[in-house]
């Protein structure tokens, strides 16, 4: 099986790393050669560390080629899109992919909050389009949601499920509903937690300790939102609110204000907590 990954940012590079680790020929696309080479170097670095730690025996970085051309996906069996989380760019990309990929190639989107069915609507063969929602960081998080859109074929759905298993993941099956499974549950729950900060006049430290030691969470809600990225959470929350109009889905004012102030969590050095760069 030959795998394509469009976009080698945090998510795309993680997915490409998994494919190389699984021994699959992989093509990764970035907008410039320089960005592609940087991503390839990061993947090589992370896999080298895994060998040094004894987590894997070996790997072959030559399995990964980088490109700036969509046409280089022509021989891929599955292409996974991991570009910006906006509908129009994704639809434009899928229309391009349909022109260059073989008729049996599966086109998958890694979207976390957009409708897979709407993305599939950009192509004349929507039966080949599915969702493969990896969780961040993709090399570490075991779950992948395999999302069946309105017109996804059984063959495309099964191919995506089998690929996730080949990548060492635990895939689950779900339909194309807002938030799929995990985010449909987790986003309003995290919003509730943030509202409690103000309503119960509790500190982030105490709220996190309460959920870890009282509810068995491995990480507190404030730590988790800082890790995910406050801007990312706000965007996903707004997408769910737009689709469902359930009050719990709307991002709390406190998170919106933090995002607007550039307090994005770990990646900006400060969110609910401060982090050393």
Q: Where is 132: in which H helix or E strand?
A: strand 129-134
**42 φ/ψ angles, rounded to the nearest 5 degrees:** -65, -45
Quote the Cα angle for 3-5-8, to 5°: 145
Q: Is 127 a catalytic residue?
A: no
Angle (CA) 142-143-146 rounded to 5° is: 145
From the list 112, 115, 237, 268, the catalytic residue is 112
DSSP annotation of 24 reads: -
Nearest by Cα to 11 from 142, 139, 116, 114: 139
- Say which of 30, 98, 110, 133 is annotated catalytic: 133
21, 81, 98, 145: the active-site residue: 145
Name the residue with tokens 């074929």: 153
- Active site includes 45? no
Catalytic pick from 110, 115, 152, 183? 183
Concerning whether 110 is annotated as a catalytic residue, the answer is: no
* CB contact set of 115 (below 8 Å; sequence gap of 6+): 87, 149, 176, 178, 243
Query: Is 175 part of the annotated catalytic residue set?
Result: no
C-alpha triplet 127, 176, 153: angle, nearest 5°: 20
Integer Cα distance of 45 and 13 in angstroms:
12
Q: Decide if 61 contacts 47 (C-beta within 8 A).
A: yes
For 100, other C-beta atoms within 10 Å of its C-beta total 17
Helices 221-228 & 204-215, crossing angle to 10 degrees? Answer: 110
Contact 111, 236 (CB under 8 A): no
Distance, CA of 50 to chain centre? 22
**Rounded distance between C-alpha atoms, residue 26 and residue 136, angstroms:** 20
Q: Which residues are catalytic?
A: 112, 133, 145, 183
């Amino acid at each position: 099986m030959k795998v394509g990954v469009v976009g080698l940012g945090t998510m795309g590079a993680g997915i490409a790393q998994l494919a190389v680790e699984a021994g699959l020929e992989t093509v990764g696309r970035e907008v410039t050669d320089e960005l592609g080479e940087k991503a390839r170097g990061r993947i090589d670095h992370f896999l080298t560390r895994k060998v040094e730690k004894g987590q894997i025996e070996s790997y072959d970085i030559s399995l990964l080629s980088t490109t700036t051309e969509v046409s280089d996906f022509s021989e891929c069996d599955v292409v996974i899109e991991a570009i910006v989380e906006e509908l129009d760019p994704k639809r434009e990309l899928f229309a391009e992919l349909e022109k260059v990929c073989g008729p049996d190639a599966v086109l998958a989107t890694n979207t976390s909050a957009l409708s897979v069915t709407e993305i599939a609507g950009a192509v004349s063969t929507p039966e080949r389009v599915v969702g493969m929602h990896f969780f961040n960081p993709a090399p570490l998080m075991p779950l992948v949601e395999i999302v069946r859109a309105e017109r996804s074929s059984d063959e495309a759905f099964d191919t995506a499920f089998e690929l996730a298993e080949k990548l060492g993941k635990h895939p689950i099956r779900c339909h194309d509903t807002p938030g799929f499974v995990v985010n449909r549950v987790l986003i309003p729950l995290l919003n509730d937690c943030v509202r409690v900060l103000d309503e119960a006049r509790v500190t982030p430290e105490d709220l996190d300790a309460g959920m870890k030691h009282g509810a068995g969470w491995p990480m507190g809600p404030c730590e988790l939102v800082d890790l995910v990225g406050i801007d990312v959470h706000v965007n996903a929350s707004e997408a769910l609110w737009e689709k469902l109009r359930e009050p719990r889905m709307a991002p709390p004012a406190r998170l919106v204000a933090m995002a607007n102030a550039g307090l994005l969590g770990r990646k900006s050095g400060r969110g609910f907590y401060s982090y050393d760069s």
